[in-house]
Amino acid sequence: ATANIGVVGLAVMGSNLARNLASREGNTVAVYNRTYARTEELLSEHPEAGFVASETIDDFVASLAKPRTAIIMVQAGAGTDAVIGQLVERFEPGDIIVDGGNANFHDTIARESRIAPTGIHFVGAGISGGEEGALHGPSIMPGGSAESYETLGPILASIAAVAEGEPCVTHVGTDGAGHFVKMIHNGIEYADMQLIAEAYDLLRTVGSLQPAAIADVFARWNEGPLESYLIEITAEVLRQVDPATGRPFVDIVLDQAGSKGTGVWTVQNALDLGVPVGGIGEAVFARAVSSKPAQREAVQRIVNSRPTVQEADASFADDVAKALYASKVVAYAQGFDAIIAGAEKYGWDIHKDRIAKIWRGGCIIRAQFLNRIAEAYDENPDIATLLEAPYFAQAVADGEAAWRRVVATSALSGVPVPGFSSALSYYDSLAVKRLPAALVQGQRDFFGAHTYKRVDKPGTFHTLWSGDRTEVEVPGH
């Protein structure tokens, strides 16, 4: 037994993570893949890594020093369960199995509770940053027991991205907390991407800019408060020219966005938790709408005139930047609200400032912006919403007029901006003194005697709608 850490599953993410581990002082990495040919390929491509390779799972387990620690990097679902089963059979109490895939956190909770009686630690760890991140430093979100983190923490810290001198890894919480937070990360990722895409659409349609010019706008934005990995790569994608046709790359890509499911999970769980995550929801739906060619073509056939695109003035791009920033604050506020609700429901002691900090580097949503979120929660972990943190309150107030102009211009021009407009509606919903929810309560009471509360006295009431329309107090509420 010579390796302090093992990796099972050597597809791109797994082999990059294994190489990352091997490149750090003090690590000896055992590797195992179901088909040995892949292992041999990795060994020949990367002799410098000094991998301890095994052809069988028995040899792999034997190559691990105790407590044995193995990170599984295989496809979420059945593949993961098969490998977990093989390891559980061979591991001993105190050993650690890490699932580094994009597992559904409900599965992680179930797996952890199934494995816990064996004394083996099962850790669901969210790993973000794609292939490059896995190789050079991802953001890592491990759940599982605090005890397992004593062994695992230093190993993960050795490979994680570093932001402002701190490794982008923290013990998120017990059992499924890590995969839950990774799921929310992905939901926010969806929202951020959709908002950026809407900004592009506006600059192109209303602003009459070509993709290369929009790339310059994004590159400029990347020097300011919007600085982020997603803005940076957007500029690169927009600057790309299709070698075959000479056209902008963005124009030769079919406009139907796919997804692998984590965004949908975020929304499904937010619905269960009763947390409004409209920004994330609209991003998921926007991908769904894009992938419905039949409906799109049907409406395009019946529509014979489209609104006249409004004229953009000189400050339009700045307005869009402000609208983007304000909408982004809303999306992150909603994501963190979902984290708070999840932590409460599943009993996790999640430190929001630490989550913001480990998202500053390595992951897809990495951004300067996350420093401000970390500061906000560090200053006052009990704020009701990120929107009330002084920095964000000020930023949104500064951008509010521009935000409204952009949403109005979009509506008048017929440019779909589900992200921008839902974020603004969410903000307005929180900001107005009275919501029409009072009328909804009236309707519910009318047709279903669902009762209502009054603004002027305690108690629960019902109006006798089909009788004389007097009000009765409903006892026992």
Binding site residues, ligand 6PG, CB under 6 A: 102, 128-130, 186, 189, 258-260, 262-263, 363-364
For residue 437, give every residue at least 6 positions away whose Cβ sits within 8 Å of its Cβ, in sequence order, or none. none
Identity of the residue numbered 114: R
Continuous segment of H or E residues that includes residue 117: none
Comparison of 60 and 332: residue with beta carbon closer to ligand 6PG: 332
Residue closer to ligand 6PG, measured from CB, 130 or 153: 130
Q: How many Å apart are CA 216 and CA 249, to the nearest integer? A: 15
User: What residues form the annotated binding site for NADP(+)?
Assistant: 9-14, 33-35, 74-76, 102
Q: Report the distance separating Cα 439 and Cα 166, nearest Å.
A: 51
CB of 13 to ligand 6PG, least distance (A): 9
Distance of closest approach, residue 78 Cβ to ligand 6PG, in angstroms = 18
Is beta strand 471-473 parallel, antiparallel or unpaired with respect to 461-463?
antiparallel
Smaller CB distance to ligand 6PG: residue 100 or 399? Answer: 100
Q: Within 13 Å of residue 289, how many CA atoms lie on the same side as its CB?
A: 12
Give the residue nearest to ligand 6PG (CB): 128
Amino acid at site 397: A
CB of 81 to ligand 6PG, least distance (A): 19
Torsion sign over Cα 203, 208, 214, 217: negative
Residues belonging to the binding site for substrate are: 102, 128-130, 185-186, 190, 260, 287, 444, 450
For residues 400 and 155, what is the distance between their CA atoms, to the nearest angstrom? 45
φ, ψ of residue 465 in degrees (nearest 5): -60, -40
Q: In angstroms, what is the minimal distance from the CB of 90 to ligand 6PG?
A: 29
Q: Give 372's contacts (C-beta < 8 A, 6+ positions apart).
A: 389, 391, 392
Which of the residues are catalytic? 182, 189
Nearest-Å Rg of the Cα atoms of the chain is 25
Is the CB of 68 or the CB of 287 nearer to ligand 6PG?
A: 287
Nearest to 185 by CA among 145, 231, 125: 125
Residues contributing to the annotated binding site: 9-14, 33-35, 74-76, 102, 128-130, 185-186, 190, 260, 287, 444, 450
Cβ closest to ligand 6PG, residue 162 vs residue 449: 162
Q: What are phi and psi of 97, to 5 degrees?
A: -110, 125
Q: Which residues contact 178 (CB under 8 A, 6 or more apart)?
A: 105, 108, 123, 124, 125, 126, 141, 142, 143, 144, 172
Cα–Cα distance between 242 and 230 in angstroms, integer? Answer: 21
Q: Which is nearer to ligand 6PG, 106 or 462 (CB)?
A: 106
Shortest Å, Cβ 141 to ligand 6PG: 10
CB of 434 to ligand 6PG, least distance (A): 38
What is the chain's length? 477
Closer CB to ligand 6PG, residue 115 or residue 237?
A: 237
Q: How far is the CB of 263 from ligand 6PG (least distance, A)?
A: 6
SS3 150: helix
